[in-house]
Amino acid sequence: MTDQARERSVQSMVSEVVENDIFLANALKRGGYANLSQVARMIRPIVRDRLNSEVTEQAILSALKRKRASLPRAENRIMNVLAHSNLSLYGGVVKVVLGTESASRYSETSSRGTRYTTYT
């Protein structure tokens, strides 16, 4: 396996680990909340097992930095939802009515059929 192919494999495994861990993804999105060197040490055994080969912490650290740069900032998503919504204030309570596009993009249906909206 060439170094470039191996680097892509490390990148894809790191991306998969981050995407499957909502707390890690959130910490990376916020920037500065996670010590990337410690995260690299923490996920190294997972990446190594999935690739079935040794991988350096530096390779994982580089992949984490690239992944962090590609994650949408949470504030941008929230601002986008609010920009396409109607907000009303009634006696100290805010009522948010999502626009059609925002509602379909961020709403999900639970196994019980209940619709809910998540913001990360």
Q: List strand residue ranges (DSSP E) for 42-98, in order.
A: 85-90, 93-98
pLDDT for res 27: 86
Predicted local confidence at residue 2, as pLDDT: 55
* Angle at CA of residue 88, ends 82 and 90, nearest 5°: 145
Number of other CB atoms surrounding residue 78 within 10 Å: 13
Residue 17's pLDDT is what? Answer: 93
In angstroms, the CA 30 to CA 66 distance is 14
By residue count, the chain amounts to 120
Whether residue 37 contacts residue 61, with contact meaning beta carbons closer than 8 Å, is answered with: yes
Cα 47 to its chain centre, rounded Å, is 17
Instruction: Report the alpha-carbon angle 107-78-80, nearest 5.
Output: 90
Q: What does pLDDT average to in each consecutive run of 10 residues of the chain (120 residues)?
A: 62 92 85 88 94 93 91 68 78 75 53 51
Residue 48 is predicted with a pLDDT of 93
Would you put residue 37 in left (φ > 0), alpha (ψ -120 to 50) or beta? alpha
Largest CA distance in the chain: 64
Q: What is the pLDDT of residue 6?
A: 55
